[in-house]
Amino acid sequence: MTTDTALPTQLVHHPYRAPAEFDAVPVGVFKASTVLFPNVAAVRQRRWQDKSAYTYGLHGTPTTFTLEERIATLEGGHHCVLAPSGLAAVALVDMAFLRAGDEVLIPHNAYGPNLAFAAVELAHWGIRHRTYDPMRPDDLAMQLTPQTRLVWLEAAGSITLEFPDVPALVAQVQAHNARCASTEAQLRPTVTVLDNTWGAGVAFCGFDLGADVVMQALTKYPSGGADVLMGSVVTRDERLHHALLMTHMRLGLGVSGNDAELVLRGLPSLQLRYRAQDASTRQLAQWMQQQPGVARVLHPALPGTPGHATWRRDAQGAACLFTVVFDDAIPAERIDAFCDNLRLFRLGYSWAGPMSLCMPYDRADMRGRDWPHAHGPVRFAVGLEAVTDLQADLKQALAVLSAA
């Protein structure tokens, strides 16, 4: 503390304190495992659960508390917890609301790893999953049982981009809860959770569509940089938030201050990026529809895509994804060659970053969906490049489809 201690001690316990009035546009990046308490009374009194104080790095820092509040606002909710990836956020929701003997319902076109987590990990814990057709609320109604405790929703569907009637699906769950109100199930009503990665809090508000819990892969739009992995789970309901917060704590899920900083840096430009990528994507999807060899283009703004009318009713915008189905007559190798010939669209997973991406899926990946085509689809994620350059890239690569 003072000069009567040795240098190694002074370098840890230094007396200088920077003035507290520093103020700038970005939020400070705070990093800690240990958080210091001024006295024993503070150790006993401090509460991290309501963000009124700090106790330990895993329980939050000024940086992560600030990001949680901004993501809650983005989603139109009141409470947020952060997870180290979108998939970790999916798993957190499952573990917070499901017990041995319960069932979870997942749309058959859901994000693949969500289904895989249920099929393998949840099965190990004695939790069953079933899939339902998200375009048929009557099918969801048929799959609901007294054991169903959680229903996943996703709009638009992963890869195939059908846009479901979320309010109609939620209405089935609410009717089910009302029917079970006199039974033991009343104590734990079925919760609905929307994976809102596609809408990103921009195209629609998940809570306004009726979801109880809204999850998002912040890896995609909120980061926007293709350089960070993170997920969020937002609620309006205090009781649901408490369940999530306690499971989150017991699992030891945390995010680093540096990663939180990257997402905080992406948030102010989120809407601008979403709108710009939306405009480029619609232009390319429409153009692609007219190209020889293309059987179908899937994008909710195109009238031929299932759920187009619902998308028009419920959404004010669309994400940067469109999916192409090639003619059955085209040899599979030509489709691979087309993907390999693209120069600006690079092969890679994820989306909503600066670089345009392309990913071919196998027919086997479409298992469980209605898929009448010979080939698996190719999904495109449009980045921030000039749309004229992207169109020229698609055009030059399409030439291999008709090559002799």
Ligand X SMILES: *Cc1c(COP(=O)(O)O)cnc(C)c1O
Residue in 53, 229, 332, 374 binding ligand X, rule: CB under 6 A: 229
Asked whether position 117 contacts ligand X by CB under 6 A, the answer is no
Q: Does 224 bind ligand X (CB under 6 A)?
A: no
The answer, yes or no, to whether the previous bond of 156 is cis (omega within 30 of 0) is yes
Q: Does residue number 197 form part of the binding site for ligand X (CB under 6 A)?
A: yes
Q: How far is the CB of 162 from ligand X (least distance, A)?
A: 13
Pick the closer one to ligand X by CB: 234 or 294.
234
**Residue 283 · residue 168 · CB < 8 Å:** no
State phi, psi for 296 to the nearest 5 degrees: -155, 145
- Count the residues of the shown chain that bind ligand X, applying the rule CB under 6 A: 13
Helix (H) or strand (E) holding 294: strand 294-298
| Cβ atoms 86, 193 nearer than 8 A | no
Contact with ligand X (CB under 6 A) among 224, 231, 317, 353? 231
Q: What is the per-residue binding string for ligand X in 347-386, x denoting contact by CB under 6 A?
A: ---x------------------------------------
C-beta of 232 vs 310, nearer to ligand X: 232
Instruction: Return the H-helix or E-strand segment holding 9.
Output: helix 7-12
Q: Which is nearer to ligand X, 247 or 398 (CB)?
A: 247
Of the listed pieces 82-90, 132-140, 245-253, 390-398, which binds ligand X according to CB under 6 A?
A: 82-90
Look at the block and give the residue holding tokens 């205090």: 238
CA distance 305 to 192: 25
- Smallest separation (angstroms) from ligand X to the CB of 219: 3
| Cβ burial 307-341 (10 Å sphere, 16+ → b, else e) | bbebbeebbebbbbbbbbbbeeebeeeebeebeeb
85 scored as a contact of ligand X (CB under 6 A): yes
In the complex with ligand X, the residue whose CB is nearer, 16 or 349, is 349
The rounded distance, in Å, linking the Cα atoms of 283 and 97 is 41
CA atoms of 367 and 204, how far apart (whole Å): 29
Q: Taking the CA of residue 278 as centre, how many other CA atoms within 13 Å lie in the half-sphere pointing to its CB? A: 19
Nearer to ligand X, 158 or 305 (CB): 158
The DSSP bridge pattern shows strands 148-154 and 213-217 to be unpaired
By CB under 6 A, name the one of 180, 194, 217, 398 that touches ligand X.
Answer: 217
CB of 144 to ligand X, least distance (A): 23
Q: Which residues, 137 to 176, sit near ligand X by CB under 6 A?
A: 158
Nearer CB in complex with ligand X: 193/390: 193
CA–CA separation, 369 and 38 (whole Å):
59
What the block records as the tokens of 6 is 């040795």
Question: Residue 195, interface with ligand X (CB under 6 A)?
Answer: yes
Q: Which is nearer to ligand X, 22 or 349 (CB)?
A: 349
User: By 3-state DSSP, what share of the chain in percent is helix, strand and coil, each rounded to 5?
Assistant: 40, 15, 45
CB-nearest residue to ligand X:
86
Q: Does 87 bind ligand X (CB under 6 A)?
A: yes
In the chain, what's the furthest Cα-to-Cα distance? 85
Smallest distance from ligand X to CB 138, Å: 25
Among 192, 219, 281, 305, binds ligand X (CB under 6 A): 219
Q: Is 86 in the site for ligand X (CB under 6 A)?
A: yes
Query: Is 102 among the residues that bind ligand X (CB under 6 A)?
Result: no
- Alpha carbons 300 and 311: distance in angstroms, whole number: 6
Pick the piece of the chain touching ligand X (CB under 6 A) from 212-220, 260-268, 330-338, 376-384.
212-220
Tokens 């009503």 locate to 189
Pairing relationship of beta strands 378-381 and 128-132 according to DSSP bridges: unpaired
Judged by CB, which is closer to ligand X: 176, or 299? 299
Q: Decide: is 206 part of the binding site for ligand X (CB under 6 A).
A: no
Among 111, 132, 163, 326, binds ligand X (CB under 6 A): 111
Interaction between residue 277 and ligand X (CB under 6 A):
no
Closest CA to 71 of 206, 187, 208, 243: 206
Per CB under 6 A, residues contacting ligand X are 85-87, 111, 158, 195, 197, 217, 219-220, 229, 231, 350
